[in-house]
Amino acid sequence: MSACIYDRQLQKEMIEFYFDQLEEKKYSLDFIHEKKPLGTAGSLSFLKGKIKESFFVSNCDILIKQDYREIHKYHKENKNDLTIISALSHYQIPYGTLITGDQGQLLSLEEKPEKTFMINTGVYLLESHLLDLVPENTFFHMTDLIDKIRSKSGRVGVFPISASSWVDIGQWADYQKHIKVGL
């Protein structure tokens, strides 16, 4: 457990150091430090009263090659409270798959099927009023926030992008591979 905390502390210090060392600063940054992990949506509670318009949330190990203005336009035109950016992802199962019925009787057999799914990229566009739905100092997943929005008949949209426009660079080898090809 202490190694995990140390790694987060070191990452935090490295990020702050990087931005502090920039000679030309074209923006203002405020760093927020969680005393305990709150999850992607739980940490949004720190933004209550600070954001008054639509804003993007991204897991830090995600890269997307997409015009964010198009996402924003879709979000506004559809009057979404939250928009999930999704990517098409193709998986080939390396085995034949079986579907069975009563008493184990074979109903169908498909050899090495390829399945296509819309997956959550970990990038979202939210309306600022959603911050009021986030409990303070509580671990809260983004899926918890989405469930809360939907339970209140809020609008959750999905903006699809191509599989080649998204990459999870959480592993150093994946990051290096994608940086070389330019995402």
pLDDT in tens, 114-134: 999 999 999 999 999 999 999
Residue 21 in domain: no
The domain of 121 spans: 53-181
Total count of domains within the chain: 1
Residue 10 in domain: no
Q: CATH number of the domain at 118, please.
A: 3.90.550.10
Residue 36 in domain: no
pLDDT tens-digit profile, the chain (183 residues) = 334 444 667 777 888 888 888 888 887 888 888 889 999 999 999 999 999 999 999 987 888 899 999 999 999 999 999 999 999 988 999 999 999 999 999 999 999 999 999 999 999 999 999 999 999 999 999 999 999 999 999 999 999 999 889 888 776 776 677 666 555
DSSP letters of 13-60? HHHHHHHHH-SS--S-------SS--HHHHGGGGGTTT--S-EEEE-T
Q: What is the pTM of this model?
A: 0.80
Give the position of tokens 């015009």: 67
Residue 45 in domain: no
Count of C-beta atoms within a 10 Å radius of residue 139:
13
Residue 70 in domain: yes
Residue 16 in domain: no
Residue 5 in domain: no
Helices (H), the chain: 2-21, 39-42, 68-77, 142-151, 172-181
Residue 85 in domain: yes
